[in-house]
Amino acid sequence: MNRIAFIGLGNMGAPMALNLAKAGHALVVYDLLPAGVAQLTTAGAQSAGSAKEAVAGADIVITMLPASQHVEGLYLGEDLLAHIDPKALVIDCSTIAPEAARKVAAAAQARGISMLDAPVSGGTAGAAAGTLTFIVGGDAGALARGRPVLEQMGRNVFHAGPAGSGQVAKICNNMLLGVLMAGTAEALALGVANGLDPKVLSEIIAKSSGRNWATEVYNPWPGVMDNVPASRGYAGGFGTDLMLKDLGLASEAAVATRSSTPLGALARNLYAMHSAGGHGKLDFSSIVRLFKGGD
C-alpha cells in the first residue's frame, strides 16, 4: 500500500480520505480545522502538524482545497513542492481555474514531480460512498499510476487531456449543473404555486423530457427526497458559495476564449443574489428559496 498525504479535510476531503484509510493505505492527514483531522485519526490515519510535515516521505500527495488561491498559496506560496519527493505523484482534486492548475503543474514539472489536476463530481454522498467521478488533466502515464488510488475513492475516472483539462471539463459540467438546478427549482416553484404537489410534479418530470440529475437524485424541494440537503435544512452538501465560485470560473473561461455563455451568466447572477440573501453556506439546491419565497 502507498503512503499517502491528504491535505484538506472538508465536506468532500474527509470522506474521500476515509475511503483511502479503509483501503489500508498509510495515511497522513492535515487540515487547518481540527474536526476533519479528528475524524480521520479515529479511522487510523496519522495527523501532521503542518502540510510540509504531512508530505514528508509520501508516495502520493492529494489535496482538496476551496479555491485557486489556496492551491497556489500552498504549492507555490508556501513552496510545498520543495518538500515533496520528486518520485511522488501529486493529485489536486480541488476545483480551480485551469490557468492556476497549469501554473502549479508547470512548477511541479520543473522539480521533476508528476502532477494531475483531478476535480471531482458526485457531491458529498458520492464522496462518502466512494462513487465519485474524477475528471483528470495531466500526463497519461501519471494517471495510470494514480488510477488505482482514484478508483478507491470513485467509480469513474476520465482523462480529459493535458494539465488543466480536468478543470476545464469540471467547470463546464458545473456550469450546466447550476443552470439545471436553478431551472428545476423554478419549475417546481411554479407548479406548487399553481396547486401541484411537489413530489408528484417531481415524479412526472423525472419520467418526462425535463428529467435531470436534480429531479432524479438531488431534488431541491424539502420533503420530496430522503437523504438530500433539501430534507435537512440544506445543511452539508455543495455550498451555494462554492457553486457561485465555479460559475465565476466558467465566466472567466468564457471571457478568455470569447465564448458565449448567457445561461451560465444568468445562473451566476441568480446564485449571487441567493448568496447575498444570506444563503451562501447552505447547499446550492437551496436556490429554490429564491423562487418559492416565504423562508
Positions marked catalytic:
170
Closest CA to 241 of 215, 277, 279, 210: 279
Phi, psi of 5 (to 5 degrees): -100, 125
Cell of 26: 498509510
Phi, psi of 150 (to 5 degrees): -60, -35
Is-contact 58 30, C-beta < 8 A?
no
Is-contact 237 124, C-beta < 8 A?
yes
H or E segment at 147?
A: helix 140-150
Spatial distance between the Cα atoms of 111 and 98, rounded to a whole number of angstroms: 20
Is-contact 214 206, C-beta < 8 A?
no
Q: Helices in 30-156 by DSSP H: which ranges? A: 34-42, 51-55, 68-72, 98-110, 123-129, 140-150
Spatial distance between the Cα atoms of 41 and 262, rounded to a whole number of angstroms: 46
